[in-house]
């Protein structure tokens, strides 16, 4: 199915030169002279690289054969991370390079969105927030409470998150997986 530049919106998935991309940002430009065009920032869904591309107004691009499935992270097996389809119980291994920085937020039984392109798994998207337990952090010192004082804390996945001084080991927190920031204390 062909998509025109008038169909562009953030998050739309398109295929260019046999590669799947998602539109990160786009801008319709109508100069005083010459034809209108669309300036875009595209993220390659296979390798995560971001590129800038300009399209003429009305130009057509292909829609990729992409399917999203909810899969559950089961376990890490050496270099591979194993995910299971909740409906068919099929298990699919991913390398740590394929998952990228998201590996530091994976917890057992975490539901993730797995992208399939032409029937092959190519990308894992974590939920925007996870809940995790603090496994190691230094105690906050009394009197060390200048506004916004923080300290590093290691969570159960091994990631280090900057948290407020009042948090202690054993407490559960919510973490933003996109930025790695502490959001709030849970329960």
Strand-pairing partners, residue 23, are 42
The pLDDT confidence band at residue 97, using thresholds 50, 70 and 90, is confident
pLDDT (tens digit, 9 = 90+) per residue, 142-167?
655 556 788 899 999 888 999 988 88
11: alpha, beta or left, given left = phi > 0 and alpha = psi -120 to 50? left
Residue 14: per-residue pLDDT: 93
What CATH number is given to the structural domain containing 145? 2.40.50.140
Q: What is the C-alpha to C-alpha distance for residues 98 and 180, in angstroms, rounded to an integer?
A: 19
Q: Is the per-residue pLDDT at 72 higher than 80?
A: yes
Give the residue from 178, 179, 172, 163 showing the smallest Cα distance to 135.
Answer: 172
Q: Within this chain, do residues 57 and 70 fall inside the same structural domain, yes or no? A: no
Boundary residue ending a domain (13, 32, 62): 62
Count how many domains the chain has.
3
Starting at the edge strand found earlier in the chain, the sheet holding 160-164 runs 160-164, 150-155, 129-137, 172-176, 182-186
Instruction: Please report which helix (H) or strand (E) contains residue 156, including its range.
Output: none
Rounded mean pLDDT of 100-113?
Answer: 87
- Taking residues 114-125, report their average pLDDT: 87
How much is the CA Rg of the chain, to the nearest whole Å? 21
The pLDDT assigned to 138 comes to 84
The boundaries of the domain holding residue 32 are 2-62
Residues 55 and 27 in one domain: yes
- Residue at a domain's end among 81, 98, 125: 125
């Amino acid at each position: 199915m062909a998509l025109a530049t008038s169909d562009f919106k953030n998050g739309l998935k398109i295929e260019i030169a046999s590669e799947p991309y998602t539109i990160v940002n786009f801008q319709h430009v109508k100069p005083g002279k010459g034809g209108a065009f669309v300036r875009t920032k595209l993220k390659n869904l296979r390798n995560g690289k971001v590129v800038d591309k300009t399209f003429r107004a009305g130009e057509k691009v292909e829609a990729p054969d992409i399917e999203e499935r909810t899969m559950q992270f089961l376990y890490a097996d050496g270099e591979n991370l194993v995910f299971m389809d909740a409906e068919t119980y099929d298990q699919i291994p991913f390398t740590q390079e394929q998952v990228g920085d998201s590996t530091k937020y994976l917890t057992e039984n975490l539901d993730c969105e797995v992208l399939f392109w032409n029937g092959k798994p190519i990308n894992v998207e974590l939920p925007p927030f996870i809940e995790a337990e603090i496994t190691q952090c230094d105690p906050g010192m009394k009197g060390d409470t200048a506004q916004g004082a923080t300290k590093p804390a290691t969570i159960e996945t091994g990631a280090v998150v900057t948290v407020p001084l009042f948090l202690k080991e054993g407490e559960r927190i919510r973490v933003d997986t996109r930025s790695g920031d502490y959001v709030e204390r849970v329960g």
